[in-house]
Amino acid sequence: MEILYKSTRSNTPPVSASKAILTGLAPDGGLYVPSRIPALPKTLLELSALSYQDLAYEIMSLYFTDFTEDELRACINRAYDDKFDTRKIAPVVKKDGVYFLELFHGPTIAFKDMALSILPHLLVISAAKNNADKRIVILTATSGDTGKAAMAGFADVPGTRIAVFFPDGGVSNIQRLQMVTQRGDNTHVAAINGNFDDAQTAVKNIFSDKALAAEAGRKGFRFSSANSINIGRLVPQIVYYVYAYCQLLAAGEIDECAPINITVPTGNFGNILAAWYASLMGLPVHKLICASNENKVLYDFFDTGVYDRERPFILTSSPSMDILISSNLERLIYHLTGDSPMRTKAFMESLSENGQYEISQAMKEGLSDFCGVFVTEEENFEGIRRLYNGTGYVIDPHTGIAFSAYRKYLEESADDTPTIIASTASPFKFAEAVVGAIAPDAVEGKSDFELIDYLSDLADIDEPYAITDIRTAPIRHKTLVDPEDMPDDVRSFLGI
């Protein structure tokens, strides 16, 4: 049965999946939501016999109903191939009584690869379906991780180009090396004389520059973004929660239909929203534990029903969760209002005008599937150290937030439901913070790569290929531009 996508902010006619993927954001500024949540297509036992790719097809075909089987399978096979360093794609490992769902086996060793490896292929087919014959040009400003994951996804995908802008001096050395060594003739990377906000503002200005869009259009290009609110990023994330459950079932760790908890280190609320969708589809989930770092805007929201972004922005060692506006929360709000675009729009207007909104008591009751927990820097380091000392298993600081949040939840609730922790990055991506947590005295005087060597010994695992590669890969991107020159830089990249 066909599923169409509605905006969270108005009653404009719903659009097809391909149109929603192609447009990203609805024209009224809302987010696209499926008009109905489909049920799991088979029993969990049946699903547990499937490979990641076949399961991905079973789930995604329920949502992307205007894709043919051949089209969708082609996207899946191109995305989840040997770019991942394990055939399982997203393996589950049991340590200290909990199940870590490792989402970092892709090309940039972080969970954004799970969605960004498939989005480019979905976009190209979506463009063809909507008679948009122009080549897609992705523009992204990045504070480090997303830009690289997007580039890795789009590199050498025919019909696409991607330009990434990062603040010069504003990303870690490893992140910078990952970006400037990016291969693919369709990729472009430039450092910006400015901070992340300058880069972000300049990209937004390019998107709203009608003259530039027209100029690019005449040369056969169309600007687009690979934003985390795109439904083409959300749906692929549902797959691995079902897959994780199926792995536990297949390994005899749980009985069919036994409930599980899922703990997700949360920033933009995309990853945990996908877990919630999985539960609405019939995955037996007891609690979704929403783990925050010291930017605990979501914890406060679950606690009080007030979303208040007016607070100091705290830099932590889990930078991908340093977020005060969790964009994907809008989808949950929409469902809590009983699918009311008018009420959702009013909340979002209040957020942008007053910096906050408060939901009703009835809506608060709808939040009972979730439990918010926040973790301080100190608690996080303590948890990483504890887990390592007890098991030898090393986790990154984002996963650390989830692990410690779960431990706090367990202490308070005594809820012994089997629990999956979404493990969102490889510890090698954050070697300094991880070594600092486990062996603080060992950090001083070590270079990035020496810290990585140290971590490799500590964890007794080889460094991932993504790290080995940047040790020697040639630097391909050397551009440094002022924000006001970014439009010209884009022109020269496109040859227009």
Ligand X SMILES: *Cc1c(COP(=O)(O)O)cnc(C)c1O
Nearer to ligand X, 225 or 271 (CB): 271
Q: Write the binding mask 317 to 336 for ligand X: x where contact by CB under 6 A, - elsewhere.
A: ---xx---------------
Q: Which residues share a beta bridge with 308?
A: 356
Integer angstrom CA distances of residue 417 from 235, 285, 296:
26, 10, 25
Q: Are 104 and 423 in contact (CB under 8 A)?
A: yes
- Does the footprint of ligand X cover residue 266 (CB under 6 A)? yes
Of 16, 268, 293, 426, the one binding ligand X (CB under 6 A) is 268
- Does the footprint of ligand X cover residue 270 (CB under 6 A)? yes
**Interaction residues for ligand X, span 8-67 (CB under 6 A):** none
> Buried b / exposed e across 221-230, counting CB within 10 Å, b at 16+?
bebbbbbbbb
CB of 264 to ligand X, least distance (A): 7
CB of 93 to ligand X, least distance (A): 17
**Interaction residues for ligand X, span 453-472 (CB under 6 A):** none
- Does the footprint of ligand X cover residue 375 (CB under 6 A)? no
Instruction: Pick the stretch among 61-69, 106-114, 465-473, 476-484 that binds ligand X (CB under 6 A).
Output: 106-114
Nearer to ligand X, 9 or 112 (CB): 112
Residues with Cβ < 8 Å from 217, sequence gap 6 or more? 134
Q: Are strands 419-423 and 92-95 parallel, antiparallel or unpaired?
A: unpaired
CB of 436 to ligand X, least distance (A): 17
- Does the footprint of ligand X cover residue 425 (CB under 6 A)? yes
- Does the footprint of ligand X cover residue 295 (CB under 6 A)? no
**Active-site annotation holds for 112:** yes
**Interaction residues for ligand X, span 208-237 (CB under 6 A):** 228
- Does the footprint of ligand X cover residue 345 (CB under 6 A)? no
- Does the footprint of ligand X cover residue 400 (CB under 6 A)? no
Q: Which of 402, 379, 406, 380 is nearest to 264 (CA)?
A: 402
Nearer to ligand X, 100 or 221 (CB): 100
Instruction: Pick the stretch among 52-60, 266-274, 333-341, 458-466 that binds ligand X (CB under 6 A).
Output: 266-274
Integer angstrom CA distances of residue 151 from 124, 148, 482:
15, 5, 21
Could you tell me how far CA 371 lies from the centroid of its own chain? 20
CA distance 313 to 294: 9
Of 267, 383, 436, 483, the one binding ligand X (CB under 6 A) is 267
> Buried b / exposed e across 54-73, counting CB within 10 Å, b at 16+?
ebbbbbbbbbbbbbeeebbb
Q: Is 275 helix (H, G, I), strand (E, B) or coil?
A: helix
Nearer to ligand X, 8 or 266 (CB): 266
Q: Supply 401's token pair.
A: 């937030």
Q: Are strands 32-34 and 5-7 parallel, antiparallel or unpaired?
A: antiparallel
Residue count at the site for ligand X (CB under 6 A)?
A: 17
Nearer to ligand X, 112 or 121 (CB): 112
Could you list the active site residues? Answer: 112
Give the interface with ligand X as residue ranges (CB under 6 A).
Answer: 110-112, 145, 228, 265-271, 320-321, 398, 424-425
